[in-house]
A = this chain, B = another copy of it.
């Protein structure tokens, strides 16, 4: 049994919404904007912002804010560290659960 391997997985990824966000960002090469993410994952704005703050604090994503004309525009991108953690998550789950 190697269930202790699960302790190496980044704790933030053990949340369904954050895993959805990371899956979405890690599969998109381009940055994804706020509204597209809200729509794709069916989240509320406040909910998304809270998760994004946590993911950025841990260096898993990068948040970019700029003005397009007079409107603020926020985009998100998965960092190299984020991609590494997603890969580790998948390989660990497979290693632990595959018989």
Contacts and interface: CB of A to CB of B under 8 A. Distances in A.
Quickly give the copy total for this chain.
2
Contacts of A89: 93, 97
Interface string A52-79: 0000000000000000000000000000
A84 B20 CA distance: 22
A23 interface: yes
Interface in A83-99: 86, 89-90, 93-94, 96-99
Contact of A20 (B6, B11, B27): B6
Interface of A: 1, 3-4, 6-7, 9, 11, 14-16, 19-20, 23-24, 26-27, 40-42, 86, 89-90, 93-94, 96-99
